[in-house]
Amino acid sequence: MQEKGNISIHTENIFPIIKKFLYSDHEIFLRELVSNAVDATQKIKRLSSLGQYQGELGDLKVEVSFDEEKKTLTISDKGLGMTGEEIKKYINQIAFSGATEFVEKFKDAKDANELIGKFGLGFYSAFMVADQVEIQTLSFQEGAEPARWICDGSTEFEITDGTRTERGTDIILHINKESEEFLSKHRLQEILDKYCRFLPVPIKFGTKTESEPDGEDEEGKPKYTSVEVDNIINNPNPIWTKAPADLTDQDYLDFYKELYPFSEDPLFWIHLNVDYPFNLTGVLYFPKVKNDFDFQKNKIKLFSRQVFITDEVKDIVPEFLMLLHGVIDSPDIPLNVSRSFLQADSNVKKINSYITKKVADKLAELFKKDRKSFEEKWGDIGVFVKYGMISEEKFYDKAKDFALLSNTKKEHYTLEEYKSKVSALQTDKDGNLVYLYTIDAAKQDAFIQSANKKDYDVLEMNSPIDNHFINQLEQKLEKTSLKRVDSDVVDKLIKKDDTPPHVLSEEQTTKVKDIFEKAINKANMKVEIESLNPDELPVSVTQDEFMRRMKDMAQMGGGM
């Protein structure tokens, strides 16, 4: 067999355009070729299980290898292979027309950068790094002859008899001058780790030495010898592909370590599993956050049938959950469209609200099942919950039942509980509820004590997000205002049961106050004679509220 031909596509010179498009992201060619090899392997397995292929399946691993001298990189599989006719159909037509379509659709796109890496160009992407691509293949079909195809990325190709003796396909890339980085073990390992780590078929890349027990020495101690074993770069059965019932807590923790080797254990996790109306699996972890500024977004990895796609999951995961870690796998997320498309996609919208609901349900369950441990974790999860309550109406409605308020005595209350706790005492003259809070309990201790003395409870609201959370509560809670404890506020609190009067007369009080004011001699400091009871604060000196606010404003940064 010998055939030269022309691939019939209408854009003659698509190659330079594609090269320009994917300039910064050439490495994805390997993801594409390895996924094709995996697809071909899965297909032969399916044919075999359907009885449509009677032969031996054999060892089905995919192998990636390179030859520095010949400057070739080869991806081999023992999949279903192709006949010469199929090459013409699938490679010349499908692969090339996919590439043409891409160019036609996106050659004028402004957001080309966003498309990069999200649009699998499939087989054709090999030409980004190779002068020449060669296929050696043998179809599984009875009586099939091995075939060879060779092409330099232009529309001309050549098909001849092939040399492959075993079912399957070799894709051989003759790496071009600018792409020699892809002939380095280190670089290839890096790309395989990134994209192929959880592909469903074992992928071999070279060998590695391992020590193996080998009997005992004269003293009866175990002996070891080093053996060369296949270097399998992937874990073909990651936990998100398994049923939650078959997994232990340790499995989830181990997987977390596999994803983020240097992180502390997560607080808890949620296993996602939907098959209707869209397909989605995954595991989301709540990380331990050391401080409010320690957030790292984009730690969730997005997969499509176990092929890594991106760690930019904006739009798919609700904004307030971007701080979670873990994986999401969905073949139903369109990967070949631009961002604006993604936002409008109905599956993406459904996925987004599904995740929100799942997270809310899980939190509600944790709260119900073990309130004590929920309270202990509140320091870490409170920020997520509050962020969610502020940004998503639907989440607020669910979270209002388990969101906690903490007071300066380190007690935790749900919104409902807090309301009943304080409603008898903390009202203003119009009968509205007054919640007091502090953002810095140590600095405002004097006011907190005075408020407590008047039987008012004080909430601690000391994370940066609490500013916004307070606003949200004021909007949501009926007839309730939240006030920061300071001298103005404390002065005006209505005292329910009168505590013993000052031991000093009014005249004496004025005198003592006068002495303090002269001694301090600062116009913006306010002196208050509280009480001369020995176990209480006798005198408080505070900065004028207006001055403090001015200072705060000057220091204020933007955002949360």
Binding site for ligand ADP (CB under 6 A): 32, 36-37, 40, 77, 79-80, 82, 90-91, 94-95, 98, 122-124, 169
Residue 169 CB, nearest distance to Mg ion (Å)? 12
The token pair at 530 is 């509280």
- CA angle (86 as vertex; 81, 91 as ends), nearest 5: 95
Q: Taking the mean position of all CA atoms in its chain, how far away is CA 374?
A: 22
Q: Which is nearer to ligand ADP, 63 or 77 (CB)?
A: 77
CB neighbour list of residue 552: distance below 8 Å, 6 or more residues apart: none
| Strand runs labelled E in 20-110 | 62-67, 72-77
Q: How many residues bind Mg ion (CB under 5 A)?
A: 2
Q: Which is nearer to ligand ADP, 82 or 130 (CB)?
A: 82
Residue 403 CB, nearest distance to ligand ADP (Å)? 45
Interacting partner of 259 out of Mg ion, ligand ADP, none (Cβ under 5 to 8 A depending on kind): none
Residue 139 CB, nearest distance to ligand ADP (Å)? 9
Helix axes of 346-369 and 371-391: crossing angle, nearest 10 degrees: 150
Please state, in angstroms and as integers, the Cα–Cα distance from residue 387 to each residue in 395, 459, 466, 468, 470, following that order.
10, 18, 9, 9, 11
Interacting partner of 37 out of Mg ion, ligand ADP, none (Cβ under 5 to 8 A depending on kind): ligand ADP
The token pair at 422 is 């304080």
What mask, x for binding Mg ion by CB under 5 A, covers residues 262 to 281?
Answer: --------------------
Please state, in angstroms and as integers, the Cα–Cα distance from residue 208 to each residue in 68, 186, 196, 234, 258, following that order.
19, 14, 18, 14, 20
Interacting partner of 320 out of ligand ADP, Mg ion, none (Cβ under 5 to 8 A depending on kind): none
Q: Which is nearer to ligand ADP, 91 or 390 (CB)?
A: 91
What are the b/e assignments for 339-362, b being 16+ CB within 10 Å?
eeebeebebbeebbeebbebbbeb
Interacting partner of 300 out of Mg ion, ligand ADP, none (Cβ under 5 to 8 A depending on kind): none
Q: Which is nearer to Mg ion, 36 or 480 (CB)?
A: 36
Q: Which is nearer to ligand ADP, 40 or 381 (CB)?
A: 40
- CA gap 451, 537 in Å, rounded: 12
Residue 62 CB, nearest distance to Mg ion (Å)? 13
Q: Which is nearer to ligand ADP, 119 or 255 (CB)?
A: 119
- CA gap 19, 168 in Å, rounded: 29
Q: Which is nearer to ligand ADP, 91 or 389 (CB)?
A: 91
What mask, x for binding Mg ion by CB under 5 A, covers residues 109 to 128?
Answer: -------------x------
The token pair at 62 is 């995919």
Interacting partner of 40 out of Mg ion, ligand ADP, none (Cβ under 5 to 8 A depending on kind): ligand ADP
Q: Which is nearer to Mg ion, 36 or 352 (CB)?
A: 36
Please state, in angstroms and as integers, the Cα–Cα distance from residue 234 to each residue in 115, 186, 270, following that order.
26, 16, 23
Residue 260 CB, nearest distance to ligand ADP (Å)? 31
Tell me how crowded residue 393 is: count the other CB atoms within 10 A of its CB.
9
Residue 24 CB, nearest distance to Mg ion (Å)? 21
Residue 76 CB, nearest distance to ligand ADP (Å)? 9
Interface with Mg ion includes 79 (CB under 5 A)? no
Residue 64 CB, nearest distance to ligand ADP (Å)? 12
Residue 123 CB, nearest distance to Mg ion (Å)? 6
- CA gap 121, 103 in Å, rounded: 10
CB neighbour list of residue 154: distance below 8 Å, 6 or more residues apart: 15
Interacting partner of 95 out of Mg ion, ligand ADP, none (Cβ under 5 to 8 A depending on kind): ligand ADP
Q: Which is nearer to ligand ADP, 50 or 245 (CB)?
A: 50
Amino acid sitting at position 126: A
Chain residues 18-47 in contact with Mg ion, contact rule CB under 5 A: 36
- Contact criterion met (CB below 8 Å) for 446 and 491: no
3-state secondary structure of 47: helix
CB nearest Mg ion: which residue?
122
Q: Which is nearer to ligand ADP, 335 or 512 (CB)?
A: 335
Interacting partner of 98 out of Mg ion, ligand ADP, none (Cβ under 5 to 8 A depending on kind): ligand ADP
Residue 109 CB, nearest distance to ligand ADP (Å)? 20
Our CA dihedral for 420, 424, 427, 433, rounded to 10 degrees, sits at: 10
Q: Which is nearer to ligand ADP, 201 or 493 (CB)?
A: 201
Which own/partner pairs from 528-533 qualify as long-range (CB within 8 Å, at least 24 positions apart)?
528/487, 529/502, 529/504, 530/450, 531/502, 531/503, 532/502, 532/503, 532/504, 533/500, 533/503
Interacting partner of 94 out of ligand ADP, Mg ion, none (Cβ under 5 to 8 A depending on kind): ligand ADP
Residue 155 CB, nearest distance to Mg ion (Å)? 20
CB neighbour list of residue 371: distance below 8 Å, 6 or more residues apart: none
Residue 121 CB, nearest distance to Mg ion (Å)? 9
CB nearest ligand ADP: which residue?
122
Burial zone of 535 (CB within 10 Å; 0-12 exposed, 13-18 middle, 19+ buried): exposed
Q: Which is nearer to ligand ADP, 122 or 200 (CB)?
A: 122
Residues that bind Mg ion (CB under 5 A): 36, 122
